[in-house]
Amino acid sequence: MLVKRFDENPIISPQDVQPSRDDFEVVGAFNAGAIQFKNEVLLLLRVAERPKQIPAATALAPIFNPTSGNIDYFTVPHGTNTLELLDSRVFRFKGDIYLTSISHLRLARSTDGIHFTIDSQPAVVPTTEFETYGIEDPRISLIDGQYWITYKPVSKYGICTSLLKTTDFMNYERFPIIFCPENIDVVLFPQKFNDRYYALTRPVVRNIGPLAIWIADSQDMIHWGNHRPLMLPRPGTFDGGRIGASCVPIKTDYGWLEIYHGADEYNKYCLAAVMLDLNDPSKIISRSTTPFMHPSAPYEVKGFFGNVVFSCGAIMDSNNLITIYYGAADTCMAGAVITLGEILDHLKITESATASSLA
């Protein structure tokens, strides 16, 4: 294990977050996008809530109603024909999937990157018919002085990817869906390449093909094309079940460092790394053969959905120290640090090498 976990972990737990309404409880504060903004570290949390009072022996899904602006409750008694209790997060009824909680995005702020103050109210809430089951897993890219946020809107139509833009983390401009169901785990590179934006994506195939990381490009960040696979799962390994982009790529002298997540056939989620070419991010320089982080701490092994470390944001400082903020067990936020040099050793890239010589 290469990373050093914060002694203070978990740094944000559900009990630290004020519910958005009196009759709700927070069951998860996790999978936060991370960014250095002015003199603070900002985490844009995914906050999952559910009603405090749930009828006994009943499956309940809180669902946003875009017509009324309220949250309605869909309930099914246990034992009902065709009800399947899949895990703590979801149930299936008459072939349709429902979530047991509903998520919004909430800001947490810190001057030291470890101790956070959490806003009392949401930053971004569901508003459209494509967000009726909630909004999840933001990633923040600073591009040309503006902060672009990809996130997952979830509804009966599936899981999409949408886009927000802000300059101050107080006002957010919404854009239409940029990737339709199910193309998720989308991260935007924080610069253009030959006047085009690039994104890593993860199409969720249903019949043929692996759950792999793809790459796409765009002229305007709204309309995407030139989709092609970049990295595939490796059967029988830590990332043999599925892989997906985690953090926004970090620019280094050696290439673009992408911290990605990999899951095995038992849904154990680990973190690994890949270095992509500085000038052409569709070219792989080196990729992890083993994870540099796997769930082992108690707060990572047990929780709302255990055996998960899942990051949506990392920050590298001027000393090449990388702080990884990650969701643990779909419940809480934690932090860990690793140096760029340790990542390079892990990837077997010599520090004397340059991106151009490796390309």
Kindly report, residue by residue over 140-149, the tens digit of the pLDDT: 999 999 999 9
Q: Return the pLDDT at 249.
A: 98
How many CB atoms within 10 Å of residue 125?
17
- Average pLDDT (110-117) is 98
245-286: per-residue pLDDT in tens?
999 999 999 999 999 999 999 999 999 999 999 999 999 999
Listed in sequence order, the residues at least 6 apart from 61 whose beta carbon sits closer than 8 Å to its beta carbon are: 73, 74, 75, 91, 98, 99, 100, 133
Count of structural domains, the chain:
1
pLDDT higher than 50, residue 357: no
Q: Return the pLDDT at 359.
A: 41
Q: Return the pLDDT at 88.
A: 86
Percent of the chain with pLDDT over 70: 97
Residue 290: give the domain boundaries.
Answer: 4-358
Any idea what the CATH number is for the domain that residue 275 is in?
2.115.10.20
pLDDT higher than 80, residue 17: yes
CA distance 258 to 286: 11
Residue-averaged pLDDT of the chain: 95
31-66: per-residue pLDDT in tens?
999 999 999 999 999 999 999 999 999 999 999 999
**What DSSP element (H or E) covers 302?**
none
CA distance 310 to 94: 31
